[in-house]
Chains A and B, each alone.
Chain A
Amino acid sequence: MNRPPGPYRLPRGGSALAARAIGAAPVAARRRFRLDREARFGLLLVAPSLLILLLVSTAPLFVLVGASLFHIELTRPWVGGFTGLGNYAAMLGDARFWHSLQITGVYTLTTVVLQVVLGLAFALALVDVRTGQGLLRVAVLLPMILTPVVVGLVWRTLLLTPRYGLLDYLAIATGLGSHSWLGDSTLALASVILMHTWQWTPFVFLVFSASLAALPVEPYEAALVDGASSWQRFRHLTLPLLRPALITVLVVRLIIALRAFDAIYAATGGGPGTATEILNLYAYRVAFNSLNLGYGAALSTALLLLTLGATLAFGRLRSAVEATP
């Protein structure tokens, strides 16, 4: 499918190319000069915010990576100093790290897959609903508006409390029986996955709804004329057309899932035991509970690299997808 290239798809330096094409070098030079001045003025305008951004987000990042190379343990101030990759080497033999990495993997994969599948299903089901779209969207947005900590607490107290929680009530009513949802290792992990899915599926739904609404009608008319079944239309038209949106959703969801923290912190605190202790939570505990700042920094850096790697991989995937016609 060839989409008409939008203005944002112009190759870089497009205006310079155009200038050269009309063969007016002095004009181009003047224009570049003017542009440069404008650019400098623009830079001046954004400089304060850029500086603040550098100070509050980039600088701490370097401090974090720097700290991960040192042995900083507040509980034993007498040991310390540069250890190079010592903290990273310690990670290899740390069973709790591997466990948290595994939990992070399970949590990220299941939430992302569940959210994409459910979000797409809802978007497809509701794409033709004409009345009450506005109301529907507001209703769907609600979970996303909530602070994750609130979500964690609400789920923990109002929904999952044995005997009194709404979900436990439903479980009893449907014959599944009452369970300690956040007290059993497997159920607790399933519960926090459910929480995250509940909160973020609306996001996926919204992106897909918007994309579906913007799809061209012609290919579908052609497909109808050719007698394609609804599955064929979905498989060969809708899905390929949605691919860019799909990749974007995957990347955004992946990042959010990898850096999840608040809702789990509020709902289970990583427990029972370490059953829901994702890498982020473990890094936090090491740094702020056990006061082992160096190792905590190394764990955070590992998470950072993981997120960065996943994002880059998806970025590659996206450009590969966009390159294919």
Chain B
Amino acid sequence: MKRLTRREMLRLTAGGVAAWTLRGADWAWAAPAGADPYGAARIDWRQLAGERIHILVTPAHYFNKFRAITPEFTRLTGIEVTFEVIPPREMREKAVLDLGSRTGNYASHTADPMYLPLYAVNNWVEPLDLFLDDHRLTDRAWFNLEDIVPLWRRHNTVRGRLWGMPVEGEVTIHIYRRDVYEQLGLKPPETLEELRETARRAHNPARNLYGLALRGFRGAGQNMYIWPSLFRAYGGQWFDHAGRPTVNSEAGVRALEFYVSVLREFAPKGVENWNWPEIMEAFAAGTVAQYVDANSTASVIENPAKSRVSGKVGYQRWPKGPTGKRVTSIWNWAMPVNAALPTRKKQATWLYIQWLASRPTQLRSATFKEAPDAVVRTGVNRISIWQDPGYRSVIAFTRDYADVVLTSLREDTDADWRPRIPEWPDIGEVMAIAIQEALVGRKTPKQALDDANAELRRILRR
């Protein structure tokens, strides 16, 4: 029965490949013939057969893919998995309430890594080494934790322990219109000042082309996802040696001045309410010359059915700040194990997380077509997949797209790019308001950051 299932799976994958319009023919590497990728793990996958777990996820395309192939997990293990799907903001609230009240409704959920310090300090979730080090539950050699993008693992590590497993992630990169650059004789900017210059040159509202867009909408995961890269690239530090917040340092003020001035001069009106979907759509419609945002937007702007600019796009790492550093944002969806569950359910949840984060599942889900207009995953969690020629050919939007992403992931940031402390939800909110107030001109950058810093001191009692 298992055999048949695998054949079905292969057929399904093959169908998906045939339907994949870009570079389907290269897809020979997905499932090596003959080998059972899960059978190779030296654990008893069926040890918890009959358990049921309930998981909270967002409606993003990668989770749609994961959900679509989860019946395969149930066939493998006999564990039933049900899902609740709600948008990120509401999902986070539900998860926190469930964890905080210890009701154990959700065995796992798609956690924001920035919340893991909060989870850890409350003991709401289990450290994953409990399961990783249990040889009955995990075949470490087969699972190969070290293959999972190190930066994402570090991001999910608090006090030396891993609290959430990265299953999908992204970095921010500079995305620009190659055709516009060529027309104007521009070179891809090396520094933030050069970025400003290219925005100035490309800016042509009369022809409905704006120079640059960045996230302007207020929120810890919106404007406070982009601005910290500028802050760090200008040399800003969140805290001084005594642990006091220092966001209103000279570097901070200059970083905010840069952000405010480029957006006010070269971004479309209303950018203060734009999050990544608005930016991506404007770029796909051809009205924005460039933006810096998640690499995952590529799979939409390169889809000819959804974008007017597919094939005309260039990708590169973040331009350097005055300190000579490039700083990218990092993000991954981390899956924790709810500490309020009974032991067997925790173990069943771990089996699911292990299955989801494993190389075979990551590989297969990457191009799985859960819907006719499905896009390819650009956030697989394993270095070995990023280096795999088969996968690289599928995401070869440009010759160097995969390398830009990989290099950014390896070199352009560190885990403490934003302050990873339990108070983050509060801090993120205060900073997001300050950035937006500066952007709309309610306060000067200096004023906004002075006020924010005072507020942070109050929050941290420092």
- Say yes or no: A289 contacts B440, CB within 8 Å: no
- Among the 9-residue stretches A73-81, A197-205, A236-244, the one with 4 or more Cβ atoms under 8 Å from chain B is A73-81
B269 touches A162 (CB 8 A): yes
Q: Is B82 an interface residue (CB 8 A)?
A: no
Contact B269 A291 (CB under 8 A): no
In the assembled complex, the CB of B460 is this many whole angstroms from the nearest CB of chain A, namely 10
Name the A residues within 8 Å of B228 (CB-CB).
none
A108 interfacial contact with B, CB 8 Å:
no
Contact between chains at A74 and B433 (CB < 8 Å): no
Q: Is B429's CB under 8 angstroms from A285's CB? A: yes
Which residues in B have their C-beta under 8 angstroms from that of A285?
A: 429
Question: Which of A75, A178, A272 sits near B436, CB closer than 8 Å?
Answer: A272
Q: How far is the CA of A179 from the CA of B272 in the complex (A)?
A: 12
Once the chains bind, are B122 and A273 in contact (CB under 8 Å)?
no
- On whether the beta carbons of A275 and B442 are closer than 8 Å, the reply is yes
The reply to whether B269 and A268 contact each other, CB–CB distance below 8 Å, is: no
By the criterion CB–CB under 8 Å, are A185 and B270 in contact?
no
Task: Report if A269-B272 is in contact (Cβ < 8 Å); known contacts: A76-B423, A275-B442, A290-B425.
Answer: no
In the complex the two chains form, is B121's CB within 8 Å of A182's CB?
Answer: no
Contact partners of B426 in chain A: CB under 8 A: 75, 289-292
Known: A285-B429, A290-B425. A271 touches B96 (CB 8 A): no
| A20 → B minimal CB distance (Å) | 56
Q: Does B218 contact A (CB under 8 A)?
A: yes
B97 closest partner in A (C-beta):
A288
List A residues 103-129 near B (Cβ within 8 Å).
Answer: none
Q: Indicate whether A185 sits within 8 Å of B442 (C-beta atoms), given known contacts A77-B121, A163-B269, A273-B437.
A: yes
Residues from chain A with Cβ under 8 Å of B219 in the complex: 269
Name the one of A77, A184, A274 contacting B433, with C-beta atoms under 8 angstroms: A274
A63 to B209, CA, bound (A): 54
Q: Does A102 sit at the interface, judged by CB under 8 A? A: no
Whether the Cβ atoms of A271 and B270 lie closer than 8 Å is no
Interface digits, A75-109 against B, CB 8 Å rule (1 contact, 0 not)? 11100000000000000000000000000000000
Q: Is A183's beta carbon under 8 Å from chain B?
A: yes
Please name all residues of chain A whose beta carbon is closer than 8 Å to the beta carbon of B121 when the two chains form the complex. Answer: 77
Contact: B273 with A271, CB < 8 Å? yes
Question: A277 — nearest CB in chain B belongs to which residue?
Answer: B433
Pick the contact of B218: A74, A161, A272 (CB < 8 A).
A272
Interface pair A288/B273, CB less than 8 Å apart:
no
A147 at the binding interface (Cβ < 8 Å): no
Given contacts A75-B422, A75-B426, contact A272 B272 (CB under 8 A): yes
Q: Are A74 and B440 in contact (CB-based, < 8 A)?
A: no
Known: A185-B440, A269-B217. A180 touches B270 (CB 8 A): yes
Nearest-CB distance from A148 to chain B (Å)? 16
Which A residue sits closest to B216, measured CB to CB?
A183
Query: What are the interface flags for B430-455 relative to A under an 8 Å C-beta threshold, 1 for contact and 0 otherwise?
Result: 00010011011011000000000000
B100: Cβ under 8 A from any A Cβ: yes
Give A184 to B118 CA distance when docked, in angstroms.
Answer: 34
Query: Does B240 sit within 8 A of A, measured CB to CB?
Result: no
Is the contact region of chain A dominated by helix, strand, or loop, or is it mixed? loop
Q: Quick check: B436 and A289 within 8 Å, CB to CB? A: no
Q: Cβ of B93 < 8 Å from any Cβ of A? A: yes
Known: A77-B122, A183-B272. A289 touches B425 (CB 8 A): yes
B268 at the interface (CB under 8 A from A): yes
Chain B residues whose CB sits within 8 angstroms of the CB of A179 once the complex forms: 269
Query: Are B93 and A288 within 8 A (Cβ)?
Result: yes
Complex: A285 Cα to B219 Cα, angstroms: 11
A291 and B425 form a contact (CB under 8 A): yes
**CB-defined contacts of A76 to chain B, threshold 8 Å:** 422-423
Beta-carbon contact of A183 and B440 below 8 Å: yes
Tell me which residues from 172 to 195 in chain A have a Cβ below 8 Å from any Cβ of chain B. Answer: 178-180, 182-185
**Bound-complex Cα distance A161 to B422 (A):** 37
Query: Could you tell me if B272 and A271 are in contact, using CB atoms closer than 8 angstroms?
Result: yes
Is the C-beta of A156 less than 8 angstroms from some C-beta in chain B? yes
Cα–Cα distance between A119 and B118 once the two chains are bound (Å): 50
Closest to B448 in A: A273
A65 vs chain B, min Cβ distance (A): 19
Please report the C-alpha to C-alpha distance between residue A272 and residue B273 in the assembled complex, in whole angstroms.
8
A22 to nearest B CB, angstroms? 61
Instruction: List chain B residues, Cβ under 8 A from A292.
Output: 426
Is B440 within 8 A of A273, CB to CB?
yes
Interface residues of A in 31-87 (CB under 8 A from B): 74-77
Residues of A within 8 A of B269 (CB): 162-163, 178-180, 183
For the complex, what is the distance from the CA of A273 to the CA of B440, rounded to whole Å? Answer: 8
Q: CA–CA, A77 to B121, complex, Å?
A: 8
Kindly list chain A residues whose C-beta atoms are within 8 Å of the C-beta of B436: 271-273
In the complex, 15 of the A-B residue pairs with CB atoms within 8 angstroms, ordered by the A residue number, are A74-B100, A74-B118, A74-B122, A75-B423, A163-B268, A163-B269, A179-B269, A180-B269, A180-B273, A183-B273, A183-B440, A271-B273, A271-B433, A275-B440, A291-B118
Shortest 6 CB-CB contacts between residues of A and residues of B = A162-B269, A273-B437, A290-B426, A272-B440, A183-B272, A162-B270
